Amino acid sequence: MAVRAVWRPPWYAWALVGIAMLGLLYRYQPSRLQGPWLPIAALLVVAGVLALRRLWELPPAAAMCAAIALTIFSGGWSQMGLAGLPLNRLLVAAALLQILLRAPGIARMPRIPLRNVHLLIGLTLLYALGSAAASGALASKDGFLQLVDVFGAVPFLLFLVAPAVFAGRRERDLLLATLVGLGAYLGLTAIFESLGPHFLVFPSYVGHVELETLGSVKAGGPFQSPTAMGFACFACAVAALVAFGQWRGRARRHLALLVAALCLFGCFLTLERGVWAATIVAVVVAALATRAGRRWLAPGIAIAALGLVGAFALSPTLSQRASQRATYQQSLWDRQNQAAAGLRMVEAKPLFGFGLDRYTAESVDYFRQSADYPMTGYSHGITIGVPDPILPIHNTYLSYAVELGLLGALLWLASIAWAVGGAILARGPASLRPWKLGLLAIAVFFLVVCIVDPHTAPFPMVLMFVWAGAATGARPLLPRSA
């Protein structure tokens, strides 16, 4: 049977790639091209070109899975000594180039399906682009990255190609294996970061956690954000449970179950009440969606409660931190003040908002002292004599209503609802049913935690939309041989 025609670049194309890598190295790390580092840098460039050449022969799923795994370090590349070189974005670009330039790995990949939801997503992106241009956000690095990574330009693009990229069982298994491995890393990192031994935390910048005034240490992981860490741990726990049901072999299934337990414990170690609430709501909703889930819901809650009691008994420090966090009041005052200021801003410009990435610059005039609680939530207020950066509003829906107006916020929410809901309700083979159920749990967690989250990390949107694309499904171009 015939397959798609593919393109293999000639040798000089790879030489140009090597020259481009040298240019990037000179741009970001010029010291690596001097002295004893010069031969090492040359060897690294050659190794990088060979790795890219091998990656070019593989299906785009390999590059996309690697990009998802490395997205957890987005924003931390400079702290890792890579001078801000965004490896995750480069891998996303590599996967898209494989599709556009017809790399050998797409020979059996189906065509990318275009549906009405993609028109809505395109309209949403155009609206956000116009808002960013009008507010001047495109001229700043932070504003541009918010549009590309956080608001959803890259996640929406990955949602477009994911049904074709992950149409086959082997590609979906690769995504599961990636998330299970990522979950093992995140679960252990949460334990090491919160309870120790701290020298096992990797990379080292993760160990520089923020100590709150109440003395508790939140597990923020490589995101340096407890909320993003909680989402990632929960999503990886869902992936591990899907793997537990689909993998064969007792050792592999037990490993998946252990990773799920580690990740759920990592959600607790974030010490974020929003993460705790989102976990409970997502688990209950997903369990009620199936007959087996309804049967196991009560025993599962009992097992989780016993596990927490055992953890508290083994670690009195953890028990004290959880108790302090559960009764901590200042974060509630922060959110009340931010919500009041945000509602005043929406009332001032309800339809089109203040412009993307403009909340921190415009919000100061909308804070008011309440008669019932202190004025907090504007900034950290921990450095005397130094102006603190303005805190983002801890409500994603209200944040987009302020910046994009009610029209933009509704477009963003409708895009998510249609993409996720369409993937869950779409017809497909029985093998996709666990993916649809897992997507339901992940989406519910995301929608709940957005109520208390400023949504500044790209990983949640990237993973949710790639998962939605994989759960939508597409018919493979040709069946794979055994």
User: What was the pLDDT predicted at 465?
Assistant: 96
For 406, other C-beta atoms within 10 Å of its C-beta total 16
Banded model confidence at residue 3, pLDDT cuts 50, 70, 90: low
Task: Assign residue 221 a region (left: φ > 0; alpha: ψ between -120 and 50; beta: otherwise).
Answer: left
276 with 449: CB under 8 angstroms?
no
User: What was the pLDDT predicted at 2?
Assistant: 47
Residue 259 carries which side chain, given as an amino acid letter?
Answer: V
Residue 390: phi and psi, rounded to 5, are -70, 135
pLDDT at 31 over 80: no
User: What was the pLDDT predicted at 441?
Assistant: 96
pLDDT at 482 over 60: no
pLDDT at 460 over 90: yes
CA distance 300 to 307: 10
CA distance 59 to 173: 13
Which of these, 230, 79, 63, 74, lies nearest to 148 by C-alpha position?
74
- For the chain, which residues make up each domain, given as ranges? 11-26+37-107, 118-329+393-472
Least confident of 93-107, 219-233, 273-287, 326-340: 326-340
Q: List Cα–Cα distances, 347 to 304, 329, 456, in angstroms.
A: 44, 27, 24
Determine the average pLDDT of the residues in 115-127.
94
User: What was the pLDDT predicted at 481?
Assistant: 42
278 with 441: CB under 8 angstroms?
no
pLDDT at 215 over 50: no
User: What was the pLDDT predicted at 155?
Assistant: 93
Say if residue 147 is exposed, middle or buried (CB neighbours under 10 Å; 0-12, 13-18, 19+). Answer: buried
Residue 349: phi and psi, rounded to 5, are -135, 80
Question: pLDDT over 70 for what percent of the chain?
Answer: 90
Output DSSP code: residue 390: B
- Side-chain half-sphere CA neighbours of 78 within 13 A: 3
User: What was the pLDDT predicted at 122?
Assistant: 94
CA distance 117 to 422: 8
Which of these, 137, 125, 122, 75, lies nearest to 403 by C-alpha position?
137
Least confident of 5-9, 244-248, 381-385: 381-385
Helix (H, G, I), strand (E, B) or coil at 367: coil
CA distance 475 to 192: 43
Question: pLDDT over 90 for what percent of the chain?
Answer: 42
CA distance 77 to 224: 12
Which of these, 236, 315, 340, 225, lies nearest to 271 by C-alpha position?
225
**Which residues, in sequence order, are CB contacts of 101 under 8 Å at separation 6+?**
7
Strand partners, 106: none
Banded model confidence at residue 306, pLDDT cuts 50, 70, 90: confident
Say if residue 157 is exposed, middle or buried (CB neighbours under 10 Å; 0-12, 13-18, 19+). Answer: middle
Tokens, residue 251: 């050792």
CA distance 403 to 353: 5
Banded model confidence at residue 459, pLDDT cuts 50, 70, 90: very high
CA distance 423 to 417: 10
pLDDT at 149 over 90: no
Determine the average pLDDT of the residues in 93-107.
89
- Top-ranked range on mean pLDDT: pick from 47-61, 66-80, 188-202, 404-418: 404-418
Banded model confidence at residue 263, pLDDT cuts 50, 70, 90: very high
Return mean pLDDT, the chain.
Answer: 85
> pTM for the full model?
0.89
User: What was the pLDDT predicted at 339?
Assistant: 83
User: What was the pLDDT predicted at 206?
Assistant: 80
Q: Would you say the C-alpha torsion 481, 434, 293, 306 has a positive or negative sign?
A: positive
Q: Would you say the C-alpha torsion 56, 59, 60, 61 has a positive or negative sign?
A: negative
Determine the average pLDDT of the residues in 455-479.
84
410 with 468: CB under 8 angstroms?
no
Which of these, 266, 264, 273, 261, lies nearest to 322 by C-alpha position?
273
Which of these, 206, 217, 226, lies nearest to 315 by C-alpha position?
217
User: What was the pLDDT predicted at 4?
Assistant: 65
